[in-house]
Homo-oligomer: A and B are copies of this chain.
Amino acid sequence: MSDTQNNASSTFEPLPNSRRIYIAGSRDDIRVPMREITLNDTRKPDGSTEPNGPVRVYDCSGPWGDPDYHRDVEKGLPEIRRQWILERGDVEEYQGRELKAADDGYLSDVHRSKAEESGKLKRFDNSQRKPLRASKGTPVTQLHYARQGIITPEMEFVAIRENAKLQNAKESLKMNANAPRNSLLKQHPGNPWGANIPDEITPEFVRDEVARGRAIIPANVNHTELEPMIIGRNFLVKINANIGNSAIASSIEEEVEKMRWATKWGGDTVMDLSTGKNIHQTREWILRNSPVPIGTVPIYQALEKVNGKAEDLTWEIYRDTLIEQCEQGVDYFTIHAGVLLRFIPQTAQRMTGIVSRGGSIMAKWCLSHHKENFLYTHWDDICDICAAYDVSFSIGDGLRPGSIADANDYPQFAELEVQGDLTKRAWAKGCQVMNEGPGHVPMHMIQENMEKQLEWCHEAPFYTLGPLTTDVAPGYDHITSGIGAAMIGWYGCAMLCYVTPKEHLGLPNKDDVKYGVITYKIAAHAADLAKGHPAAQYRDNALSKARFEFRWEDQFALSLDPETAMKFHDETLPQDAAKTAHFCSMCGPNFCSMKITDDVRKYAEEQGMETPDEALAAGMEEKSKQFRESGGEVYQ
């Protein structure tokens, strides 16, 4: 695994044959980034060539993926949303909460200063920056605007972005209109399990989905650097990458780099799960440099402020932490408000008890005080705070199963019902909501999770961790969970929280982050194909066409991880010539199955058999019928 560690390309090494493009929206400052992959011409057997249109892909890497952009994390990213937010006229700049030594885990200002002097703590320079918050008593959330019929620049941005694949189809038709068959546009009808995915994502469709609560655009007014994205079952399935230092290991620099690294490979959102020291500053560096939404679990920081003693937590400390993070620009909060006192002892019979860290913290607090979870009792207060900054909720699943044995049990589903209740209450306050889900679930019990969530949580987006489909493979839990993630994505889950190979074993390094992200991009894309997302199959088609035509470079460039594909190819056939050779190492130069197919095509053409696909499909039914009627004998 750590091979990529040794050879790892840098965050800034451009992906092969790719360039950054921007699709313009209705106003000059809406510029939606995409990566455009240029392809080589097809060389036909008769020596002629045929061009292959470029393929545009969704790009999460933000300005870091633009070679023209500076690479200086100390400067942060441009505030592309600031004007959009100010134009709405419903926010104000204010002084903001004073930064405390405890925010970074120091006993006093003196301790913190020493850490700064010794270089252990480095502040991001944002002395000029004042936080924004709602000024008129109304929510400043995308949900609030959507309900009023307003299409925000964020919504338009998202609509253009979601259509990246459709752009390909349009370009392809333009370019290859005269080609005998435009096979790149071929796509199987999906089975979306009741999702309503339109042929084209319009800004109005985005608005409508946000207004119904079926999708969210996590976008804190203080995360002005954000390139908006959407999470909902009628959109592309998204993935989240967790990063974060801990009491044991890793530094601020590492975490910022992990964030850029995760988004380079396709992380749609990033959760900063830091614990221990320097939490505030780690988050500040990440936020100021992040083009994607940042999520956190605020109870983690609150716990640090009480020196790790869950029983010492108070609503006041938690509330102060929420505001601290709202002002910084965190886009969504995981809040374990559904862990109710009476559910907790019901976990005693479990194989693995409570495995969610947030769930455990709240369980300990509830038991110590024998009181109801203060996140639950203060839910309305929490909603009011988040509505004033547009921080979305990711209502936590603190009682999710930590083993196959505990899947779909009473505490898990009891909490899910409460999540549904909290969702409705948050909506009433104008807040955007998604719900977190498991965990460890065998394959045949996954769909029940999705169905219950859709019903009980009123179609608010579901956001699951895997689920892992078996417990027996630590070291490979990106795979055990990638299986479950692909399936639940197909069933309707809107965002998949990645699991790295280090799950259950240790903290992910840069390689693990990449493995996790690529595995989850696979799961999300497999789900998009199965749901029948418009033009989802375009990239598969383009890659398979390149494979068939021995355009090795194009095959690498179109893959989710070009450098690994290329490295693996070169291990067997390292010569440059082999990359354009009409054979591969599997069969050798004397024989190749793809070459033979070329002969088949010639033969079929000679036989006048260039039947369109539709006719083939129709013919199949007929032939199949004949075949069965003849009693299954092939020769009649």
Contact = CB atoms under 8 A, between A and B. Distances in A.
B616 A410 contact: yes
B600 A569 contact: no
A522 B555 contact: no
B483 A526 contact: yes
Given A403-B540, A405-B537, 11 more contacts: A188-B407, A246-B585, A248-B585, A308-B591, A351-B545, A353-B601, A364-B599, A443-B526, A475-B559, A476-B564, A506-B569
A119 B428 CA distance: 80
A438 to B, nearest CB: 14
A475 B561 contact: yes
A401 to B, nearest CB: 10
A132 interface: no
A480 interface: yes
A540 B349 contact: no
A502 B569 CA distance: 8
A613 interface: yes
A421 B634 contact: yes
A470 B404 contact: no
B610 A348 contact: yes
Interface in A1-19: 1-4
Given A469-B529, A529-B469, A560-B472, A352 B483 contact: no
Given A405-B540, A525-B472, A345 B518 contact: no
Given A474-B555, A487-B443, A505-B568, A588 B482 contact: no
A442 interface: yes
B572 A507 contact: yes
Contacts of A559: 472-475
A417 interface: yes
29 contacts: A1-B4, A183-B405, A186-B351, A275-B588, A275-B591, A303-B591, A310-B591, A345-B600, A346-B604, A353-B601, A354-B600, A357-B591, A404-B529, A409-B620, A413-B620, A413-B624, A414-B624, A417-B628, A417-B632, A420-B632, A469-B486, A469-B530, A474-B565, A475-B559, A475-B564, A475-B567, A476-B561, A505-B585, A506-B571
A512 B332 CA distance: 39
Given A186-B351, A417-B624, A585-B248, A522 B483 contact: yes
B544 A190 contact: no
Nearest to A564: B475
A151 to B, nearest CB: 32
A611 B349 contact: yes
A633 interface: yes
Given A1-B1, A559-B473, A600-B367, A519 B404 contact: no
Contacts of A22: none
A349 B470 contact: no
A589 interface: yes
A501 interface: yes
Contact of A568 (B475, B567, B568): B475
Contact of A357 (B352, B363, B507, B587): B587
Contacts of A442: 188, 190, 526, 529-530, 537
A400 to B, nearest CB: 11
A175 interface: no
A476 B560 contact: yes
Interface in A319-364: 340, 344-357, 359-361, 363-364
B548 A351 contact: yes
Contact of A348 (B418, B523, B572, B609): B609
A188 B448 CA distance: 14
A594 B482 contact: no
A247 interface: yes
Contact of A444 (B190, B346, B584, B592): B190
A573 interface: yes
Nearest to A573: B506
Contacts of A501: 568
Q: Copies of this chain, how many?
A: 2
A471 interface: yes
Nearest to A502: B568
A603 interface: yes
A504 B547 contact: yes
A315 interface: no
A555 to B, nearest CB: 6
Nearest to A347: B600
A527 interface: yes
Taking each of A471, A599, A617, A624, which has the highest tally of chain B beta carbons within 10 Å of its own beta carbon? A471
Nearest to A480: B522
A592 to B, nearest CB: 8
A555 B613 CA distance: 52
B540 A471 contact: yes
B418 A634 contact: yes
A490 B564 CA distance: 30
Interface string A361-403: 1011001000000001000000000000000000000000011
Interface string A437-454: 000101111000000000
A251 interface: no
Nearest to A276: B588
Nearest to A447: B191
Nearest to A618: B410
A509 B570 CA distance: 13
Interface in A500-548: 501-502, 504-507, 509, 518-519, 521-523, 525-527, 529-532, 537, 539-541, 543-545, 547-548
B248 A572 contact: yes
A49 interface: no
Contacts of A420: 632
A301 to B, nearest CB: 13
A596 B345 contact: no
Interface string A482-499: 110011001000000000
